[in-house]
Amino acid sequence: MGSHFQTVVDLDATAADARALAALGVDWLVREGIVRAGMTPCVPGAPLGHPPGDSWASAVEEADWEPTDGLRVETGRTVFDGGQGEPRYAVCPHCAGRVELATEDWDPVEEAWEPFEEAIAAWRASGRAVVACPGCGREGELPAWRWEDDHHAFGHLGFEFWDWPAFSPAFLDRFGRALGGHRLVVVGGKF
């Protein structure tokens, strides 16, 4: 069985303020009792993370099982994605039109994917990329495009929680306010 993760990505954190915001976010989570300040080996892919705190249940939609692992914070330019599989469509930030990236049978539509693949590589390299919408013809910043199930997010700060129940919208709202009124998106999946 793989591990499940949910990464809360701060869409408004910049390369310059990501580390300070990471510290602010962890402080807030510790104060709320959602994670513990003391770090333990509780996350895949890193030596240490913050284990769940006494009030972890206040962050989740349904506290019907206990989180088994902890929080790892990622800073720096990162393509956050949902792990296995690919999104079936992307949504234009201007016209809200969908670009179909896969057929009904889940076969990728290569010519539709290509501009996104190029933009993802460019964003990884430089932090800037746009994709022209085939529907309205306008260019949209790559991070402004939305994806099926929020499969991708492009940002500089992510709070990666391993094996937690789904977060509640109320918690995400409070967390976003604690980070200075920033927009958050949750990218989740399995590894």
Minimum Å gap between C-beta 101 and Zn ion is: 15
| 134 touches Zn ion by CB under 5 A | no
| 98 touches Zn ion by CB under 5 A | no
Matching residue, tokens 């809200």 = 96
Minimum Å gap between C-beta 187 and Zn ion is: 23
| 23 touches Zn ion by CB under 5 A | no
From candidates 45, 135, 169, 180, binder to Zn ion by CB under 5 A: 135
The residue count for the chain:
191
Minimum Å gap between C-beta 95 and Zn ion is: 3
> Which residues have C-beta within 8 Å of that of residue 34, sequence separation ≥ 6?
52, 53, 55, 56, 58, 59
- Region near Zn ion per CB under 5 A, out of 7-15, 52-60, 134-142, 160-168: 134-142
Tokens found for residue 95: 């016209």
From candidates 121, 125, 136, 166, binder to Zn ion by CB under 5 A: 136
- Region near Zn ion per CB under 5 A, out of 49-57, 60-68, 96-104, 154-162: 96-104
Strand-strand pairing, 71-81 and 152-162: antiparallel
